[in-house]
Structure 1
Amino acid sequence: MRVLLFGATGMVGQGVLRECLRAPDVEFVQTVGRSATGQLDPRLHEITLPDMLDYQATEASLQGFDACFFCLGISSAGMTEDNYTRVTYDLTLAAAGTLSRLNPQMVFIYVSGAGTDSTAQGRSMWARVKGKTENALKRLPFKAVYLFRPGVIQPLHGIQSKTRLYRLVYAAARPLFTLIRMLMPNQIVTTEGVGRAMLALARHPRGKEVLDPVDINAICRAEAAADASPPLTPHAG
């Protein structure tokens, strides 16, 4: 499987990249972003673009992929709706529109957010913009589109957010994750789980388009159970 990954330097993207490079059936991973991850792996290739709205010059490098995991995102705090739309809707659709033309058999998975407004008409600005983005993605001619709406995301394996404020918040919350998982098991996922669920859907597209933490965790449990199952032995005679 050949995977294209946007936002590999962010917290979610770091987790997804880790799982891609650990998966034996992923033969090639190409990241696209404004900065490189700095990781070294023979299966990893990185493209850095100063303008994430223009893919004309790099189209030849965006063909022949089975899946795209789109993990780019930014907080709406302090942003106008126009600016947030530009870095959320416009940026996402610039990439997705190009990829749907170059890779119509691709599985496209977008990291959205819990509380996204599918009507794109509600009072919450960020939820409207995310909803508008989701709706536009569903209309593109991909093999399949999945919209991940994680709630609380627990970073694992030393992964950290690039945003200093988020790093401080996660550091303070780390002792509480066990309690959150006990009290709100349906509202928390891990960076590892998000990556594993994405790979599972890329391998075998199925189920509903919009996935909340319950769905993401259920896919991870099913994958873990399948991995733990002994191989079938041909019946003799």
Structure 2
Amino acid sequence: MRVILTGATGVAGLSIYRAALADPSVSQVTLLTRRAIPSWAVLPPNANEKTQVILHDDFKMYPPELARGLAEHDALIWALGKTSLGMSEAQYTELTYTYAMNAATALKDAGAGSPERPFRFVFISGVQANPKGESRQMWANVKGRVERELPALLEGSNMRACIYRPGYFFPSDTKEFRQERMQQRGYGRRLADLIFTPIYTTFLPRFYTPIEELGRATIELAKNRWLEKDLFTNVEMRELMSALPAPDAPVAAKVRRDREL
């Protein structure tokens, strides 16, 4: 199985990337990114041999040759994004809605998927996303718009939308991933993690997603494990993941960071 991943340097994206590298059914991970994976990223030894990097500057445009190459894959995981803090609604809409929808349109036009093996477009949304646009939170309405319009765009094609709404997540605080945490979170976000993590894990577990579980769950969605659904809330996904066997070994036991892709 060949998987495309966007947002690989973000907290969710990097966890998904490691989960894909660890999954034997994933033969190749194609990173669609503006820049190469930085040296601070902690990766398994098989990262180079299993990864293709496509440097792409403009996520609003997909030349035909690029679109055709991407359409030869089996799934795309859209983990590109960041907090809406400090962004206008127009800026956040372009990053979150326009980029994702343009990628889906390019893949659809390029003939991604087949009736026997539909191409899976997995969109990482959020636990409070609102498809009706009725939330007081701007980001929730924008992500909800993608949830509403992406399946409609792909209707009648050989592509299938899959929406995953994880809850609050944060970078691993183990020693192996400490440098990643420093790079991915500014001081303010690290302080917020310190304050809110015990609150979510203890009192609001339905709104919390362990980062390693997020990575594994997303790969399972790309593999079409649960075909009967296209929208997965955090609570539903955590229940589904609890029924799966645990991974053979912690990712941290297999990682290294001495080689830059």
Q: 1:161 to 1:23 in 2, by over 3 A?
A: farther
- Aligned to 1:154, the other structure's residue is in SS state coil
Q: Answer with 167-176 or 190-199: which moved more.
A: 167-176
Alpha-carbon distance in structure 2 between the residues aligned to 1:168 and 1:76: 14
- 1:15-34 to structure 2, matched below 5 A, reads 15-34=15-34
* Kept after mapping to 2: 8 A contact 1:193/1:216: no
Residue 238 of structure 2 aligns with which residue? 217
- Aligned to 1:145, the other structure's residue is in SS state strand
Please tell me whether residue 185 in structure 1 is matched to residue 210 in structure 2.
no
Offset at 1:122? 4.1
Offset at 1:110? 0.6
Residue 112 of structure 2 aligns with which residue? 103
Please give the root-mean-square deviation of Cα atoms over the aligned residues, in Å: 2.5
Offset at 1:108? 1.2
Q: Answer with 24-33 or 58-67: which moved more.
A: 58-67
Q: 1:10 to 1:226 in 2, by over 3 A?
A: closer
Offset at 1:113? 1.4
Alpha-carbon distance in structure 2 between the residues aligned to 1:103 and 1:33: 20
Alpha-carbon distance in structure 2 between the residues aligned to 1:15 and 1:171: 21
* Kept after mapping to 2: 8 A contact 1:10/1:162: no
Q: Answer with 3-12 or 33-42: which moved more.
A: 33-42
Alpha-carbon distance in structure 2 between the residues aligned to 1:161 and 1:217: 27
Residue 129 of structure 1 aligns with which residue? 142
Residue 155 of structure 1 aligns with which residue? 171
Residue 230 of structure 1 aligns with which residue? none
Name the aligned partner's letter for residue 53 of structure 2. E
Q: 1:182 to 1:207 in 2, by over 3 A?
A: farther
TM-score, L = length of structure 1: 0.84
Alpha-carbon distance in structure 2 between the residues aligned to 1:109 and 1:160: 25
Offset at 1:162? 4.9
* Kept after mapping to 2: 8 A contact 1:2/1:66: yes
Residue 10 of structure 2 aligns with which residue? 10
Residue 37 of structure 1 aligns with which residue? 37
Please tell me whether residue 145 in structure 1 is matched to residue 158 in structure 2.
no
User: Deviation per CA, 1:5-57, whole angstroms, max 9, x where unpaired?
Assistant: 01111110000000000011110110101111146420100111111111115
Offset at 1:211? 1.8
* Kept after mapping to 2: 8 A contact 1:32/1:47: yes
Number of aligned pairs?
A: 226
Query: Where does structure 2 lack aligned partners over 5 or more consecutive residues?
Result: 249-261
Please tell me whether residue 69 in structure 1 is matched to residue 77 in structure 2.
yes
Name the aligned partner's letter for residue 215 of structure 1. E
Query: Where does structure 1 lack aligned partners over 5 or more consecutive residues?
Result: 228-237
Please tell me whether residue 81 in structure 1 is matched to residue 89 in structure 2.
yes
Please tell me whether residue 202 in structure 1 is matched to residue 209 in structure 2.
no
* Kept after mapping to 2: 8 A contact 1:10/1:161: no
Please tell me whether residue 49 in structure 1 is matched to residue 59 in structure 2.
no
